[in-house]
Amino acid sequence: MDLGMGGKTALVTGASRGIGLAIAQALAAEGVTVVGAARTVSPDLASAAALAVATDLSTREGATAVVERAVAEVGGIDFLLNNVGAGDPEKLSLGGFLEADDEQWQAIFGLNLFSAVWTTRAALPSILQRRGAIVNISSINARVPAGSPVGYAEAKAALTQFSKRLSEEFGPQGVRVNTVSPGVVASPLWTDPAGFGGRVAEAFGVGHDDLLKGIPARFGIASGRVTEPAEVADLVAFLLSDRAANIHGADHVIDGGTLRAA
C-alpha cells in the first residue's frame, strides 16, 4: 500500500533493533527520510536510515541533541516516533515493589517517559510548522502492570496520558498524536537470551526457548502467537499517514488479544 509519505522526514528513537528498527525500515520503504537514534548504531539501522545517530536518549542533552541534528541535516521533522524504552535488563529487579530502589524508578522513568518529553519538546516547533504527526510506543502493561518490572507499567501509563495531553493541545494546530501499545513482541527484548526474556526464564527456572514457546499460553494470547516487530511498524506507518488523518489521541493496542477488556 502506498501511504503517500514520500518526501517526508521522520525521527525514530530506539531504532537500532526490534520495533524501532522495524519502524525505521518500514518508513524508509515508504520513501521517508529517516533519522534513527539509539545508544548504539547497529549495521541494520545504518543501512535503513538516511542518518543514524548514537546518543543516550535517557538524558535531556542526548534527546535534545538528536532533534537539533535531525533538523539541521534533513531540514526538519514531519514525524516523531518515541519508541525508545524498557531498560538494561541486568539493572532491573524482577522482584516486588519493596525490592525496587529509587535508581530503578528513576532509570525507567527517564528512558520510558522523560525521553519522550524531552524529544517532543525539542521537535514540536518543526512538527507544528509542517503539521506533522507523533506516535508514542507505550505498552499493554500501562493497563495491566502485573508481570512487568516495578516502574515500567507506571511509566508507560504516564506516556499514554502524555500522548493524550499533546493531542488535545496540538490537534487544533494540525498535529496528530497517537499511541501504539504492543503486547509481547518478538524483539530482542524477549528473544535475546541475554535480554529481559532471559532474565524472566531464569526467574521461572525454565530454559529460554521453553519460555518463548510458552508465552502465548502463559499470557493468554488469543491469536496463539506473539506480535512481530514488522506488524507494529505497519500500524505506526498507517497512523502517521494521511489515511489516518482523523485519528487523534487514540491508544491502539496490538497484542494478539491478550487484553480481555476494551
Could you list the active site residues? 152
Torsion angles phi and psi, residue 134, rounded to 5: -130, 135
Phi, psi values for residue 84, rounded to 5°:
-55, 140
**Residues ≥6 apart with Cβ < 8 Å to 29:** none
Distance between CA atoms of 11 and 5, rounded to whole angstroms?
Answer: 14
Angle (CA) 132-136-142 rounded to 5° is 155
Q: Is 153 left (phi over 0), alpha (psi -120 to 50) or beta?
A: alpha
In three-state secondary structure terms, 150 is coil
**Structure-block grid coordinates of residue 2:** 502506498
Give CA torsion, residues 201, 203, 204, 205, to 10 deg. Answer: 80
